[in-house]
Structure 1
Amino acid sequence: MREKKLYTCEFCHTDYAEKFACKQCEQNHKTNLAIKGMRFKPITVDASGFPISITVVTDKGLEKVYHC
């Protein structure tokens, strides 16, 4: 029997055999995000109240828009 040791990324939960690869994965994830804006549909179109898109910004000013 062989024992297997894996390292798991805290953010995306991917398993890695190498600790270095796992650290790289963790450092690549953008975690200090702030919501800059949201877009909604009127209640007559979408009564859920959830946004149809969210704009997030990093601490360095990079922006990304996520659409639902």
Structure 2
Amino acid sequence: MSDRHDSGPRTPPVRRYHVLDRASKILGVVLIATGLHLGGGTPAGLTVAALGVASGLLTVLINRQ
């Protein structure tokens, strides 16, 4: 047994969080633009754009206390 208590997911340092946040948003915009370029109504375009949305929302789930 361990005396260590985990209070949930680990949080990154503030500076690292901001870098990760901006990188994920930029990647999301690039993927959405690529999906639109491939054709917004095609399965490939929709898939790439959906990955862009997911990338842009990546850091929303990170708890930064």
Same fold (TM over 0.5): no
Q: TM-score, normalised by structure 2?
A: 0.28
Point out the structure with the larger helix share. 2
Q: TM-score, normalised by structure 1?
A: 0.27
Of structures 1 and 2, the one scoring higher in RCO (CA 8 A, sep 6+) is 2
Rg (Cα) greater in structure = 1
